Amino acid sequence: MTTTPPPGSAGPRTPAAVLERVFGYDSFRGEQQEIIEHVVAGGDAVVLMPTGGGKSLCYQIPAIVREGTGVVVSPLIALMQDQVDALSALGVRAAFLNSTQGAEERRAVEAAFLAGELDLLYLAPERLAVESTAALLDRGRVSLFAIDEAHCVSQWGHDFRPDYLALSVLADRWPGVPRIALTATATEATHREITERLRLGSARHFVASFDRPNIQYRIEPKNEPIRQLLHLIRTEHAGDAGIVYCLSRASVEKTALALVEAGVAALPYHAGLDARTRASHQARFLREDGIVMVATIAFGMGIDKPDVRFVAHLDLPKSVEGYYQETGRAGRDGLPSTAWLAYGLQDVVQQRQLLDRSEGDAAFKRRASAHLDAMLALCETIECRRAQLLAYFGQASQPCGNCDTCLEPPESWDGTVAAQKLLSTIVRLWRERHQRFGAGHVIDILLGKRTPRVAQHGHDGLATFGIGTELTEGEWRGVVRQLLAQGLLAVAADGYGTLVLTDSSASVLSGSRVVRLRRDAVRAPRRSRAARVAALGDLPRDAQEVFERLRSWRAGVAREQGVPAYVVFADATLRGIAATRPSSPAELATVSGVGERKLEAYGADVLAIVATSAAASAPAEGAAASAEGAVDSVR
């Protein structure tokens, strides 16, 4: 392998100088500067910062500034190449060691590390656990250890990785090397567990706001979910990159096929595909524009693609942590994006059944049930979704004005009588007939439908037959769903989805408890505010034409170099160029995201495109001002 001089070697290697010369930004965001200076000085840190908040700079800049090599522990072997490519494009001396390499390539990386020619070295926790790797690190100079996706140390964390538990060895074997643990997903309990398991009790803790104001959160009743998904893509995100999460492999395959047949560039991703296919699909998603990845939660951790414009869920996530982390893969560049979830009664029944059938002990089931209850509460809230989401992570917030419940406030209604009718039907089925049924049959009884099944069992003779005609079938399904969410109804552990009462049901039947329910409004299809803003991009028409020319040029360069398009320039940087129309290298260097190396590599081409563009005569009045928001890219 070849090496280059250390980044920023032409001048002082201070954090601020590296930020500007290497990464092309003129200022830090939030607590970045304080975190970086603390680690540069040799301190340990625990950093909780949302996806897209700039966590990576918190260890990359200290690794460049400090003497030696920063060792990054990452669970993402499949993504290490892209991470290293992105850093190399900036002139940062980065490499990785993992099982995808041949012996000769590994020896070259090891030699570069021992010679002090690397700023950053990426390792999987499994690789670090190998004694020969630890011995290699003993022989070189390690400037810091960064533990990325640190929530993996938690037994209750998303995508638990056992090898993360062994990372406490870092404190024993290399006691003088600063450690920084970073994650975007942690409740107070997970935060404590990260601290304890990594032995970071004396570290400084930095907890940023988990708010992602550029993401619009929307949850709607599930009714033909693939049709709903296609409407979302066609009306709001045509040609955009997106991720669609499904619970099962079969659902992934079915949804991906339906999207392809509808003309959407979609690919499946799940653990049932062979490793080569998964790697190929992931590479296409990262390196091509406009690909929609349909996946199980096996996909996505650490995905560094900044221009994912939407994340859709066709099945209910198991926890708020999982939902937050998955939706956080949208809009890493700070531009408007959508988090959309289709949610229905069957989701609740299915998740309850999965929980009952799980092999975990009682403590696990209690914890998992609490996670599910919190997710259901988020789905059923009539308050601001963002405020409730942030409250789950212990952070207060005012109504955001950019979620569905803020934009179109739902109604609540007194559902006590409806709940009594439904619960009474279940009671009568059991007491009079010793029978249990699922939601569909109970609703048929309430609506007075003489279906073959109702007639077969003589349920048209029940006192509750036909007493629920004031509500539609869809509305009754909403009642069942919300009673399940509130713990006033349960799914029997019989594998058939039959409904049973809970200890809390009696208070409803007796009239001592009032039941407030959310009314699912039937709304006309609309384009979300996020989609409208994203489509306009805060750019005047002529600047949009320049942006598209730059985007086309970027795609060609990325294909030629075999790297993702965002490695060349992020969308936010291209928007900044299109808005300000630089006419010289000095002016181009002032655009956020244009560092020394990229200015040298691409400056002439970019300036030529701007100069020759039909719409590049002069920036429209006010374009520079509008660009300020558009170029707030991920740092």
Same-domain status, 69 and 142? yes
Shared-domain flag, residues 200 and 296: no
* 254 in the same domain as 370: yes
- Same domain (yes/no): 608, 590: yes
d(CA 611, CA 622): 19
Q: Which residue has the higher pLDDT, 227 or 496?
A: 227
Q: Which of 59-63, 90-94, 556-560 has the lowest mean pLDDT?
A: 556-560
Residue 621, in any domain of the structure: yes
Residue 200 sits in the same domain as residue 73: yes
Closest CA to 68 of 169, 173, 145, 11: 145
What pLDDT does residue 537 have?
Answer: 54
Residues 228, 117 share a domain: no
Q: What pLDDT, on the 0 to 100 scale, is given for residue 205?
A: 95
State the first-to-last Cα distance of the chain, in angstroms, to the nearest integer.
28
Residue 525 pLDDT: 43
- Whether the Cβ atoms of residue 54 and residue 29 lie closer than 8 Å to each other: yes
**Are 400 and 440 contained in the same domain?**
no
Distances (CA, A) of 629 to 335, 413, 446, 537, 596: 9, 41, 54, 10, 23
Which of 484, 519, 554 is a domain's end point?
A: 519
Rounded to an integer, what distance in angstroms lies between the CA atom of residue 426 and that of residue 438?
10
101-145 confidence digits (pLDDT tens):
889 999 999 999 999 999 999 998 888 888 999 999 999 999 999
Contact assessment for residue 473 and residue 443, using Cβ atoms and an 8 Å cutoff: yes
Within a domain: residue 532?
no
- In this structure, are 235 and 300 located in the same domain? yes
CA atoms within 13 A on the CB side of 284: 16
Give the CATH number of the domain where residue 492 resides: 1.10.10.10
Rounded to an integer, the average pLDDT of 220-237 is 94
- For residue 251, the surrounding DSSP H or E stretch is helix 249-261
267: β partners: 293
Residue 525 belongs to a domain: no
Residue at a domain's end among 207, 229, 251: 207
> Is residue 2 domain-resident?
no
Is residue 635 in some structural domain? no
Burial class of 99 by CB neighbour count within 10 A (0 to 12, 13 to 18, 19+): exposed
The amino acid that residue 148 corresponds to is D
Q: Specify if 306 maps to a domain.
A: yes
Check whether 529 has a pLDDT greater than 80: no
228 contacts: CB under 8 Å, gap ≥ 6: 220, 222, 342
Q: What's the confidence (pLDDT) of residue 627? A: 36
| Gap between the Cα atoms of 181 and 48, Å rounded | 8
Residue 1 falls within a domain, yes or no?
A: no
If asked whether residues 392 and 266 sit together in one domain, one would say: yes
Is residue 530 scored above 50 in pLDDT?
Answer: no
| Predicted confidence (pLDDT) at residue 242 exceeds the cutoff of 90 | yes
Q: Are 237 and 310 in contact (CB under 8 A)?
A: yes
| pLDDT over 90 percentage in the chain | 56
- Examine the domain organization and report whether 478 and 546 are in the same domain: no
Q: Which residues of 19-48 are buried (b: 16+ CB within 10 A; e: fewer)?
A: bbbbbbbeebbebbbebbbbbbeebbbbbb
CATH at residue 553 = 1.10.150.80
Same domain, 395 and 334: yes
**Does residue 455 share a domain with residue 395?**
no
Q: Report yes or no: 88 and 598 within 8 Å, Cβ to Cβ.
A: no
Mark which of 207, 239, 270 sits at the end of a domain.
207
Does residue 612 have a pLDDT over 90?
A: no
- Give buried/exposed letters for 144-166 (b at 16+ CB in 10 A, else e): bbbbbbbbbbbebbbeebebbbe
- Domain range spanning residue 317? 215-409
pLDDT at 142: 97
User: Is 528 a member of any domain?
Assistant: no
Total number of domains constituting the chain:
4
- State the pLDDT at residue 535: 40
CATH code (residue 32): 3.40.50.300
